[in-house]
Chains A and B, each alone.
Chain A
Amino acid sequence: MNYIIIIISAIFVNNIVLAKFLGVCPFIGVSNRVETAIGMTGAVTFVMVIATIVTYLLQHYILIPFGISFMQTITFILVIAALVQMVEIVLKKASPVLYQALGIFLPLITTNCAILGVAILAVQNDYNLIESVVFSIANAIGFGMALLLISGIREQLKLVDVPEPMKGVPIAFIVAGLLAMAFMGFTGIV
């Protein structure tokens, strides 16, 4: 039951992009086409889950026992940067097809605040390892869903006559606002 609450809360009620404002840069940056949005979602899911597991272990077996949890920010971001690099190298060798699909998105992920944000949130919420994994997967799904929704809408928007200064990013923000408003309807389920 606990897991179901975590999942629903992360995907719908506290959607990582539309309610918590994490990962807004890729949300606006790569949502021009549905195809790139799918690629980005894949890469984010991959890195987010691995990063959450590794940072969980680091936090509970190194930072806390040695009393150096003020080093959290530095350690976590280094782990994520190293992970992204490693994932890139491994993917290149192991699965060239997947690398072709995700390759260009991987470097962008280091500075995606959703990854670091989820890692820190999982620690702050005192989740155990399994809960952390569930939490990170659910957040990745939430991120993917928001990204797919807005990229679908933005593809349609290209055919619409939008006032000149509104074209591109401003209208994307307003659409995102309307989406966020729709997502507010889920408040109170959990």
Chain B
Amino acid sequence: MNRWKNFNKGIFRENAVFVLFLGLCPTLGVTTSVINGVGMGLATTFVLLMSNIVVTLVKNFIPDKVRIPSFIVIIASFVTIVELLMQAYLPGLFDELGLFIPLIVVNCLVLGRAEAFASKNTFVSSVVDGLGMGLGFTMALFFLGGVREILGSGSFLGFKFIPGDGILLFILAPGAFIALGYLIMIMNKINKKTA
């Protein structure tokens, strides 16, 4: 498989959120605005990339029976690093994302890639896979955050262009589910056309 295909499968054909339905909790929980969504996406991309790299490097030393706990420890270490870095340098974003930062550990996407891809493939393709999957995830959060911010507060990236309050529902919990439902529907339609 060539590099480009490996990279862009994470963005389209195997998009974590829209096609595989992995990592849904942070997707729904933090996308009240574009900034939060992209911040979460990039944090997850970092963890995904680093854990893919470490897993692919140590895959030959880990006995098969304890591989899942080992992967979890590797992932949890990087999540702790992200947590501490964010608390120090981006305290505003840290407060907004709150509980969902430690919960990157249980994002099924990260463990899923470590188990299904990085533990079976070479170093370079694991890096490419981690980047592609992470960016696909970030893109999904960007779209969902964009839809919710535009409809919910009439602004984009914090710039207000519609006067008034917007449709409050889209900032609240129900709007997250409904917006994601429609986005997945659109993605289904697009994937069917290209397939």
| B 24-63 to A, binary, CB cutoff 8 A, 1 in contact else 0 | 1110110000000000000000000000000000000000
Contacts of A176 in B (CB 8 A): 177, 181
In the complex, what distance in Å separates the CA atom of A124 from the CA atom of B101?
14
A170 touches B182 (CB 8 A): yes
| B 89-104 to A, binary, CB cutoff 8 A, 1 in contact else 0 | 0000000000100110
B72 touches A81 (CB 8 A): yes
A74 touches B180 (CB 8 A): no
CB distance from B71 to the nearest CB of A (A): 10
Contacts of A25 in B (CB 8 A): 21-25, 108
Q: Which secondary structure characterizes the binding site on chain A?
A: helix
In the complex, what distance in Å separates the CA atom of A19 from the CA atom of B79?
24
Is A48 part of the contact surface with B, judged by Cβ < 8 Å? no
A73 touches B83 (CB 8 A): yes
| Selected contact of A18 from candidates B25, B84, B173, CB within 8 Å | B173
A21 touches B73 (CB 8 A): no
- Partner-contacting stretch, out of B7-15, B119-127, B155-163, B185-193: B185-193
B185 touches A166 (CB 8 A): yes
In the complex, what distance in Å separates the CA atom of A184 from the CA atom of B9?
38
A102-125 residues with Cβ-Cβ distance < 8 A to B are: 110-113, 115-117, 120-121, 124
CB distance from A164 to the nearest CB of B (A): 8
Beyond A78-B73, A184-B172, whether A116 also contacts B80 by CB under 8 A is: no
CB distance from B30 to the nearest CB of A (A): 9
B69 touches A72 (CB 8 A): no
B102 touches A116 (CB 8 A): yes
Query: Which residue of chain B lies nearest to A187 when distances are taken between CB atoms in the complex?
Result: B172
A170 touches B184 (CB 8 A): yes
In the complex, what distance in Å separates the CA atom of A148 from the CA atom of B107?
23
A149-190 residues with Cβ-Cβ distance < 8 A to B are: 165-166, 169-174, 176-178, 180-181, 183-184
Contacts of A71 in B (CB 8 A): 80
Beyond A21-B29, A73-B80, A74-B80, whether A170 also contacts B188 by CB under 8 A is: yes
Is A28 part of the contact surface with B, judged by Cβ < 8 Å? yes
Contacts of B169 in A (CB 8 A): 181
In the complex, what distance in Å separates the CA atom of A47 from the CA atom of B80?
24
B181 touches A21 (CB 8 A): no
CB distance from B193 to the nearest CB of A (A): 10
Beyond A73-B76, A78-B73, A121-B99, whether A116 also contacts B177 by CB under 8 A is: no
A78 touches B76 (CB 8 A): yes
In the complex, what distance in Å separates the CA atom of A74 from the CA atom of B105?
9
Among A110, A111, A112, A120, chain B packs the most CB atoms within 10 A around the CB of A111
Is A20 part of the contact surface with B, judged by Cβ < 8 Å? yes
Is A66 part of the contact surface with B, judged by Cβ < 8 Å? no
Query: Which residue of chain A lies nearest to B104 when distances are taken between CB atoms in the complex?
Result: A73
Interface residues of A (CB under 8 A from B): 18-25, 28-29, 70-74, 77-78, 81-82, 110-113, 115-117, 120-121, 124, 165-166, 169-174, 176-178, 180-181, 183-184
What are the 5 A-B residue pairs with the smallest beta carbon separation, nearest first?
A173-B181, A177-B177, A177-B178, A21-B29, A181-B174
